[in-house]
Amino acid sequence: MDGLRVLKYDYKRRFGVEIEVNSLSGRDFIDYPLDKNELPDGIEYIGEKIVKNLKIPVILHQWHPTHNNNNWVLKPDSSCGIEVCSPVDKGAYGLNQICNVVDLISSDKKITIDDRCSFHLHVNLDDCSETEITAILAWWVKCEAAFLDSLPASRKRSRYCQCIGISDVFYHDFIDYFAINGALGKQKYYTINSFHMNKKKRKSIEFRPLGNEGCKSVEIAKNWIRLLIHFVEMAKNKSLPRPWVDGVSGINDPFRGLLWLDPKDVFRFLGFLDCELCKELTEVRNWFLKRLKNNIKTDLLGMWSIQGRAKAIEEVDELISHFKLDI
């Protein structure tokens, strides 16, 4: 390891999450939406449980936008019933508080978490310049396929987590990178969005790929947050991808343009291949590889089929062998 760059997980970036759970009544809120001033069944129960067991304050709200909150906020959600919003926090303390709430909710047999629920991560970018924000969004578009490969089929086809790379938002030789922020801020349902930033509500981005697994598993929630915070820090310090140049020998570099990267290049981008990693990032890397191995082979058609992901499957197996992991 002598001479290798050392990556430590000591980031101070602020973040918050939304943890979605079902109301205790199991109500279908699409067919039977809440009245204007109505609170979903169970919101008081969950709030009291958090206060009693974790000794942290909780605010119950009718639906309203939650921006820069300093306390845990519980409010109605129009699809599943209840949204549990963390305060904006950072570091190990913030991560542990989120994990404690996930553990408390997921271990209660009265509380159900079905496919209507998902786990959203908001990451604060107050310290980032326009160029750095653009780089984060551009590199996400390039790494998006690998992140989606680590998720089950239900998230790959979810309309609440729309894949940018197979949409008509961009084309492969797109070069107006500074238009990315606006393009990804028009609606909230892409895998990543800058919706609130474009609405001038808060300088943050939202990651939506993780489904209800993050609401039910401390291990998944913890490693997903660490992985994406690390991604943001690595992307922030990268230059913008160089423009794609078509048909020129030696120029068609996968790191150019907005075309997807294969897993090995994503691991190289994250520093997982060429750097010495701290304990936390080693855990994240190994967890991510296990997720890729378990989820990349799906029964979906086209891009997400076994044939469509053949190169990714091959590279994941090579990475597992390279790191001598028993997966």
Q: What angle do CA 30, 19, 23 make, to 5 degrees?
A: 45
Q: From CA 6, how far away is CA 22, in angstroms rounded?
A: 42
Helix, strand, or coil (residue 89): strand
What token pair was written down for 268? 């190289």
Residue 89 confidence (pLDDT): 94
In the chain, what is the straight-line distance between the N-terminal and C-terminal CA atoms, in Å?
Answer: 24
Which residues does 239 contact at the CB level (< 8 Å), separation at least 6? 135
Which residues does 45 contact at the CB level (< 8 Å), separation at least 6? 24, 110
Q: Which residues of 9-116 form beta strands (DSSP E)?
A: 14-22, 58-60, 72-77, 81-85, 89-90
Q: From CA 58, how far away is CA 56, in angstroms rounded?
A: 7
Which residues does 67 contact at the CB level (< 8 Å), separation at least 6? 196, 201, 202
Mean pLDDT by 10 residues, the chain (327 residues): 79 97 90 87 96 95 79 92 95 97 97 96 97 97 97 93 91 82 94 92 94 98 98 96 73 86 98 96 98 90 91 97 95
Residue 32 confidence (pLDDT): 87
Residue 261 confidence (pLDDT): 96
- DSSP class of residue 171 equals -
